[in-house]
Amino acid sequence: MGSSVLFFPQENKAKDGFHSEEEKQSFLEQFRSPIGPGDHFLPSHRCRGCHGFDTLAHASLDANGVDINLFDDWRATMMANSARDPLWRAKVSHEMLVNPAHAVALQDKCTSCHAPLGKYNALFKGNPHFGLADIDNDTLGVDGVSCGGCHAIGDTPLGNMFSGNIPYDSTRKEYGPFTLPMIGPMQLYEGLIPTYSPHISESKVCSHCHTLITETADLLGNSTGGEFVEQATFHEWLNSGYSADNVTCQSCHMPEITSGVVIANEQLGLQPRSPFNQHQFAGANIFMLKLMKANRQSLNIPAENKNFDSTIVSTENLLKQKTANLDVTLDSITPDTAFIKVEVKNKAGHKLPSGYPSRRMVVQLFVTNNVGDTLFQSGRFNQDYTVTGENSPFEPHHQIINQANQNQIYEMVMGDVNSNFTTVLERAAVLLKDNRIPPEGFTTQHAAYDTAKISADALADLNFNRYNPTSQGSGRDFVFYHIPLNEATGTISIFTNLYYQAVPPKWTQEMFSLSSPQIDTFRNLFNAADQSPFLIGSDSLTGVNLVTVITRTNEKELRIWPNPSPEGYVWIDSPAKPVTQLRIFDSAGNLIQNLDFLKGQKAVKVNLPEEKGIYFLKIKTGKDVVLKRVVRN
């Protein structure tokens, strides 16, 4: 194809005459022939000629003329490097060392999603086994989740096949989202048939790998007959308002361009297509992206630094803009305690975090006095990026935190047949903890809940994924901090952060106790890498005056009646100071109504919400703020 660059190697001592694999593939593109007999897929470089960078500056450009070609966007993603991922290789090796008799089956299962075209091409040729050694000698295998890894998936029976059972179409069709595709060039040059099907734009095309159920083995390697849900991102999405509103996986992870885009090179008559989903595949694993970029040559990753930079920026933007909201409010202050509420709101269409069970989020809260001294801290990281005071083997879910050694960590924790903490996936038998924040609309009554359960400690928290004690699906958690003031005077400041850790140190300890080429390689890369958690969001309150913000008020100074209220209203009598502002909150902390009394009133009639229950009135009288509990019955 004219858009490829033809290299003629000179003074090259490489055994095949090429300076690099990329140079070789670019050369071979000039003389390619359609897919051969007995093969079902083509490697990604065969798609590059039409869907890579266009030297004529005609195709794969957005409305501003910026290059957005599919190949370069894809090549530095976690999907493109799923078979080269050194953590994945180390983990497969770890599982094999723990249960060597299961080595073949373990590799077959793992390569089904991390090297799907290599695995299934071998399967279609009559070889049911495909492992780590096969990947390194197979162009399709080392390609990870490449073009055909998604576009060759058939349209049925998607949504009901999981754990790497992928319904690939064996008729050499490549499915796309656009009607009336131009068939000729692709069929002529590649032997593949571009075919329109709406399923390629639906979340169910992701279901077979993003719900993984493993078979449980005991500590001797014997099968128990039990199963464990290692991850269930697709089912988490099904059990959400995003599914009901048809907000698909692609909506967030493949950013949409509504202006038309010409999608293939050298076809000057090809009309722009819209909407166009970019192939950035931004997720949350920024740690591994940076590690692979720093070691791309030793890991034989062909993507260039600029490709990784683009993927890293997309991932950072997703984490900062579409992941979570963090909000801190001061509920009240007494002479000895500050009552602080932190809201963590999930903005994703699945649990937060989701996917591989190593991933977690940590809420960090600091309170300082007016000279900057720390009065309280929770969620602080040590130099090795463990969390100060974290319980061993794992931190429980917290509703209230009143000690510095208590930390709110959102994570999934696996237990073995003896209910002991484990990071060995095949030994996972029981769910010790899962307080990952569900997506909005998620309920325990949904048909898919059995594969996306919440652990008992979080379920017992009436402020976890609830609008009120009887209504689920808020997609958020409230953490209440009771901070001892220790006779502090003047002002205090409150700072809170939400951090994401893709590979926390405790997840590697069990694996690093063993040795194999894959484990040793990753250990060296991990120890040399920047393991800093990623800051998703933050919020703060500064200059809070301890003198004027006191909530314990003499009943003679402020009276609320009737309480309980049978008629749905209460009177606020404030003979000493007029009421200037009133906020009404429900029992979950949701702001129901905000009223300002510009001239101030010493007697105020307040209509409560129609629904019976407990409400909180935050009343401002002059400079004082008072929090009162009322009941409508």
Query: What confidence tens digit (pLDDT) does each residue in 409-448 have?
Result: 999 999 999 999 999 999 999 999 999 999 999 999 999 9
Model-level pTM? 0.83
In this structure, are strands 193-196 and 173-176 parallel, antiparallel, or unpaired? parallel
Helix (H) or strand (E) holding 213: strand 211-217
- Percent of the chain past pLDDT 90, that is, above it, reads 75
Q: What CA dihedral angle connects 397, 317, 341 and 573, to 10 degrees?
A: -150
| DSSP secondary structure letters along 227-291 | EEEEEEHHHHHHTSHHHHTT--HHHHHS-EE-S-B--STT-TTPPPBSSEE------S-HHHHHH
Q: What sign has the CA pseudo-torsion 293, 296, 299, 301?
A: positive
Q: How many residues does the chain have?
A: 633
Helix (H, G, I), strand (E, B) or coil at 134: helix
Fold of domain 559-632: Immunoglobulin-like (2.60.40)
Position 311: which residue type?
A: T
Check residue 628 and give left, alpha or beta (phi > 0: left; psi -120 to 50: alpha): beta
CA atoms within 13 A on the CB side of 472: 18
Most confident of 17-21, 234-238, 541-545: 234-238
- In terms of Cβ atoms closer than 10 Å to its own Cβ (0-12, 13-18, 19+), residue 61 is middle
- 314-317, Cβ contacts within 8 angstroms, sequence gap of 24 or more: 314/255, 314/280, 314/282, 315/282, 315/283, 315/284, 315/285, 315/286, 315/289, 316/286, 316/534, 317/282
> β-strands 471-484, 400-401: how paired?
parallel
Instruction: Give me the pLDDT at residue 156, please.
Output: 83
pLDDT given at position 91: 98
Q: How far apart are the first and last CA of the chain?
A: 76
What three-state secondary structure class fits 483? strand
Other Cβ atoms less than 10 A from the Cβ of 40: the count is 20
For the beta carbon of residue 251, count every other beta carbon within 10 angstroms.
Answer: 17
CA torsion 14-20-22-28 (nearest 10°) is -10
Q: What pLDDT does residue 181 have? A: 95
* Predicted local confidence at residue 552, as pLDDT: 43
Q: For residue 349, give both structure tokens.
A: 């269409």
- Distance, C-alpha 501 to centroid of its chain: 11
* DSSP for 308-376, written as a single string: HHHHHHHHHHHHHHSSEEEEEEEEEE-SSEEEEEEEEEE-SSS-BS-SSTT-EEEEEEEEEETTS-EEE
- Judge: domain 323-414+431-545, CATH 2.60.120.10: no
According to the model, what pLDDT value does residue 60 have? 96
The 10 Å Cβ neighbour count of residue 153 is: 24
Both structure tokens of 542: 């500064």
Run of H or E residues at 543: strand 534-545
Residue 524 is classified by DSSP as H
Query: Model confidence over 219-231: pLDDT tens digits?
Result: 999 999 999 999 9
Distance from C-alpha of 506 to C-alpha of 394, rounded to nearest angstrom: 9
Average the pLDDT over 529-545 and give the result: 95
Strands 491-501 and 471-484: unpaired
Determine if the peptide bond prior to 353 is cis (ω within 30°). Answer: yes
501 DSSP β-pair partners? 360
**pLDDT (0 to 100) of residue 577:** 84
User: Could you read off the pLDDT of 482-522 as tens digits, one per residue?
Assistant: 999 988 888 999 999 999 999 999 999 999 999 999 999 99
The H-or-E segment that residue 614 falls in is strand 613-621
H-type alpha helices, 62-214: 70-75, 86-98, 103-114, 116-124, 132-135, 139-142, 147-151, 184-190
pLDDT at 600: 81
Average pLDDT over residues 247-273: 93
- Residue 316 pLDDT exceeds 70: yes
Distance of CA 391 to the CA centre of its chain: 24
Query: What proportions of the chain, in percent to the nearest 5, are helix, strand and coil?
Result: 25, 30, 45
Structure tokens at 377: 């801290």
* Contact indicator for 536, 362 with CB cutoff of 8 Å: no
- Check if the beta carbon of residue 446 is closer than 8 Å to that of residue 232: no
The CA dihedral of 40, 46, 51, 53, to the nearest 10 degrees, is 160
Contacts of 507 (CB under 8 A, 6+ apart): 358, 423
Q: Percent of the chain beyond pLDDT 70?
A: 92
In eight-state DSSP terms, residue 632 is: E
pLDDT tens per residue, range 369-415: 989 999 999 999 999 999 999 999 999 999 999 999 999 999 999 99
CA 192/CA 148 separation, integer angstroms: 10
Residue with tokens 């949350």, as numbered in its chain: 284
Cβ atoms 437, 109 nearer than 8 A: no
**C-alpha dist (Å) from residue 251 to 75, 242, 257, 277, 312:** 20, 10, 11, 8, 18
Cβ neighbors of 168 (< 8 A, separation 6 or more) are 40, 116, 120, 152, 153, 154
Answer whether 323-414+431-545 and 559-632 agree in fold.
Answer: yes
CB atoms < 10 A from the CB of 256, how many?
Answer: 12
**Which of the four pLDDT bands, split at 50, 70 and 90, describes residue 332?**
confident
pLDDT of residue 422: 98
For residue 198, is the peptide bond before it cis, meaning its omega torsion is within 30 degrees of 0? no
User: Structural domain boundaries of the chain?
Assistant: 32-283+285-319, 323-414+431-545, 559-632
Buried b (16+ CB within 10 A) or exposed e, 63-74: eeeeebbbbbbb
